[in-house]
A and B are shown apart, each in its own frame.
Chain A
């Protein structure tokens, strides 16, 4: 039996402070309203799935969000359901690269 070395006690919380509570949107569908869904919309905006100019996102699962979810699933090789299923939520919550998936915002020219 392997005895755990006390110096290896795990102390770091693996949840990201921004995305860890996105599980609450699991199975949310068109028309549903979940408090904080605007943060999910900000996530999709951040990675290129919602247009940049929008700033006042609502907490409603609307057409625009459904379109973003579908596009995200397509881009990330997930089953395309247009819904916030467990595969999709789990992928959204995974740590990732900060480069946008669609707009490729980090593309400045050399100074």
Chain B
């Protein structure tokens, strides 16, 4: 389609027809639209260098460079629209794909990502992130929630004073136990918009550029970080070729005021989803207690 998009009664989501990436999310009821670019990158894990012999490892996230490498410049996509789901399936590479879904009645965009086995034939450990980029002017601040108990403001510390550029590293990554919120820092009056990303597990995350949010979804390292394990963080996975991980991010776009009421129940549904049990034939005739 010249203008690939998926839509339900709450959201319209547009995609780049050439590169296949997410382009924009529109909250139809509130008349909010926010350009949102999302893609996958990998940081080259440091094996120690002239600055420090410290390698990236289980205890330390220490990338070899401040800028991650894109997994792919573009994504091969397949658009599927049925009565119950509209989805765009993106294939970035042999080891990185994602499905973006909208279902009727669902006020959030579901991104189901599958990453692995991470190739290390080039001798480089890789730390894979999913990064969201928006024009929100957030002044280097973002917010994390911890299961609805405590929303904390986080800010990228800019290293030496006056350094405008913050660089990734252990100090920059915060554990994202639950929703990670990207919202302008009040009192920026013209920005009432909040982008919330719900994770289905704890992930490292940060916001290194204004309006951007990155979450670490998978890592595969080749060197021990010399903190006592005496082995690299290199999980073999079921078939020994390297661990494959599948997870979900739920993305909500709403006003700052309305967002907590949206993301809190979604987070609980993510942690305690309904249990699906199957039975052959007509199964037990269950009475409601």
Partners in one complex: no
Using a CB–CB cutoff of 8 Å, the interface residues on chain A facing chain B are none
Query: Which residues of B approach A to under 8 Å, CB–CB?
Result: none
